[in-house]
């Protein structure tokens, strides 16, 4: 109906211009007004309508000129040529616009078809207001984590500024929504109370990274928790919308949990078996000297209880007791030596790889308490030499301790791992958290064996970390201001530093 009205309007206008050009004494280039008729026809976005309208206007322009003037070339002919040129230019531009519009429409249809038909959940969001709020802070990216730790209310405020503009059917089905309206109205419920995912994405957005990915849980409209992998692609300065791609990993998580349970059972069985073998070995090794001690002791008592004690035999029995006791001590010492860690290996290691591996090991543990792990690694750091597993375990221990210190904390929970070169040339690693910090009276004893600030802790973790670091020629220290988090500084000699020494 609309296209028919536009065609009719174009034809009526063209006829009106023709009649004015022929029947009135106006000397101006009245035929130029034919371009309006062409523009009306172009609104149908059909190539054929534009061409028909242009051809008709050209024909009417020539007919009007022939009816009103002779063939002598003069000012009338110039005006006619100007009108024809205007018609030609307008037609060309209209055809180009129509082609561009059709191409854009095809592109939009392809995008919409992929958006709707994809089996991966997709969300369109508008972060324009978040970008504006971030600029209003006037805070450097390096100081943003500290600022957010001091102002958790800003994180909650920024989260409300995200506007959902579209969600595809796959994601609606994933969370149990019957329409996009149900999804958008229940966004706060779907994301849950945790700010961990949004905080990580916000920091990546502030750092102008092209994307942010991770693992989190959605809360379905039926209260079911849905573990998902997600990737957020951030827009450029000139764009508004970002896209979030979501994959349901419920089956993978179930398989992982089953595998972890099986591994735990297997490890427990192995520990029990090893303990049984060790116990049997210790009993077998120690039983003989203990039996000899008992036998010699009983013999010595018998010699003492005689009417005339034989002191030489008593002395000999006591000597045997002492010898067998020393033998038992030597056996225990040998068992302890067997149970000690093997000497540290001396492999060439890249610290960035070790931190990345440690981050993978602790990710599941941190995610349970909604803790963000931020890694800031300088480029082209020199390699170190040491035991990969031992250094990795030191980092895992420090990161897990930092996470546990913030497990009951309200507000942003961020563990930051930074690497760089110390003034001495050693490799410096800093593990910093935004937790409550360490009490001043506990700092001097922090690395002592069996001292722990955690309820139910054994107090061996940091002591083992210190021993491991010192065995690698490094140093480990801790610092804290109550209420501002704890900072653990670890230095390790680089290969270059060892060579120069």
194 and 144 housed in the same domain = yes
Three-state SS for 414-447 is: EEEEEEEECCCCCEEEEEEECCCCCCCCCHHHCC
Q: What is the pLDDT of residue 189?
A: 66
> Can you read off the two tokens belonging to residue 436?
């409550």
359 and 496 housed in the same domain = yes
Q: What is the pLDDT of residue 476?
A: 92
Contacts of 83 (CB under 8 A, 6+ apart): 29, 30, 31, 32, 34, 61
Distance CA 374, CA 145 (A): 9
Q: Specify which of 263-267, 275-279, 369-373 reaches the highest per-range mean pLDDT.
A: 369-373
CA geometry: angle 83, 84, 88, nearest 5 deg: 120
Residue spans of beta strands (DSSP E) within 180-288:
211-219, 225-233, 241-248
Distance CA 276, CA 320 (A): 31
Question: 164: domain CATH number?
Answer: 3.30.450.20
Q: Which DSSP string corresponds to 392-405?
A: HHHHHHHHHHHHHH
Instruction: Give tens-digit pLDDT for 46-70.
Output: 888 888 888 888 888 777 777 766 5
Contacts of 281 (CB under 8 A, 6+ apart): 335
335 and 353 housed in the same domain = no
In a domain, 253, yes or no: no
Contacts of 465 (CB under 8 A, 6+ apart): 394, 397, 398, 447, 476
Confidence of residue 140 (pLDDT cuts 50, 70, 90): confident
pTM of the model: 0.49
170 and 56 housed in the same domain = no
Single residue among 339, 362, 395 that ends a domain in this structure: 339
For the ranges 20-34, 306-320, 394-408, 486-500, which has the lowest average pLDDT? 20-34
- Closest by CA to 447, choosing from 428, 469, 431, is 469
Domain extent, residue 109, equals 2-116
Sign of the torsion angle spanned by Cα atoms 93, 96, 98, 101: negative
393 and 493 housed in the same domain = yes
Q: How many domains does the chain have?
A: 4
Long-range contacts of 100-106 (CB under 8 A, 24+ apart): 101/45, 102/45
Instruction: Give tens-digit pLDDT for 106-121.
Output: 766 776 677 666 778 8
Sign of the torsion angle spanned by Cα atoms 12, 17, 21, 25: positive
């Amino acid at each position: 109906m609309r296209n028919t009205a536009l065609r009719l309007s174009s034809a009526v206008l063209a006829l009106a211009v023709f009649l004015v050009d022929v029947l009135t004494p106006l000397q101006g280039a009245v035929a130029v007004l034919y371009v309006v008729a062409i523009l009306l026809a172009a609104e149908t976005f059909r190539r054929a309508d534009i061409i028909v309208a242009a051809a008709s206007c050209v024909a009417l322009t020539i007919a009007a000129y022939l009816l009103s003037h002779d063939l002598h070339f003069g000012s009338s002919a110039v005006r006619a040529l100007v009108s024809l040129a205007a018609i030609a230019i307008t037609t060309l531009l209209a055809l180009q616009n129509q082609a561009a519009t059709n191409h854009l429409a095809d592109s939009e249809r392809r995008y919409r078809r992929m958006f709707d038909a994809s089996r991966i959940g997709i969300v369109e969001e508008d972060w324009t207001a978040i970008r504006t709020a971030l600029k209003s802070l006037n805070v450097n990216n390096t100081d943003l984590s500290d600022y957010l730790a001091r102002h958790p209310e800003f994180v909650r405020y920024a989260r409300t500024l995200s506007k959902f503009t579209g969600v595809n059917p796959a994601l609606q089905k994933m969370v149990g929504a019957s329409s996009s309206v149900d999804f958008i109205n229940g966004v706060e419920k779907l994301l849950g109370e945790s700010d961990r995912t949004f905080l990580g994405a916000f920091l990546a957005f502030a750092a102008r990274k092209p994307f942010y990915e991770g693992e989190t849980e959605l809360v379905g409209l039926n209260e079911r928790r849905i573990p998902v992998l997600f990737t957020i692609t951030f827009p450029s300065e000139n764009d508004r919308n970002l896209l979030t791609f979501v994959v349901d990993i419920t089956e993978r998580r179930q398989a992982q949990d089953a595998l972890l349970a099986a591994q735990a059972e297997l490890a427990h069985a192995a520990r029990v078996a090893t303990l049984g073998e060790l116990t049997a070995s210790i009993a077998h090794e120690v039983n003989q000297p203990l039996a000899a001690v008992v036998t010699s002791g009983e013999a010595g008592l018998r010699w003492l209880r005689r009417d005339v004690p034989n002191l030489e035999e008593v002395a000999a029995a006591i000597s045997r007791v002492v010898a067998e006791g020393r033998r038992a001590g030597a056996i225990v010492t040998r068992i302890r030596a067997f149970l000690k860690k093997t000497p540290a290996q001396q492999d060439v290691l890249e610290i960035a790889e070790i931190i990345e591996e440690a981050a993978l090991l602790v990710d599941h543990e941190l995610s349970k308490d909604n803790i963000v792990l931020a890694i800031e690694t300088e480029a082209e750091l020199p390699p170190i030499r040491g035991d990969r597993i031992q250094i990795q375990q030191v980092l895992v221990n420090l990161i897990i301790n930092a996470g546990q210190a913030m497990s009951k904390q309200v507000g942003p929970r961020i563990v930051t791992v930074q690497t760089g070169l110390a003034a001495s040339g050693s490799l410096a690693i800093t593990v910093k958290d935004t937790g409550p910090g360490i009490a001043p009276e506990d700092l001097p004893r922090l690395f002592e064996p069996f001292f722990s600030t955690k309820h139910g802790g054994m107090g061996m973790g940091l002591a083992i970390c210190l021993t491991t670091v010192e065995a690698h020629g490094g140093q480990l220290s801790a610092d804290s201001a109550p209420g501002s988090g704890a900072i653990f500084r670890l230095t390790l000699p680089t290969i270059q530093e060892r060579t120069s020494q």
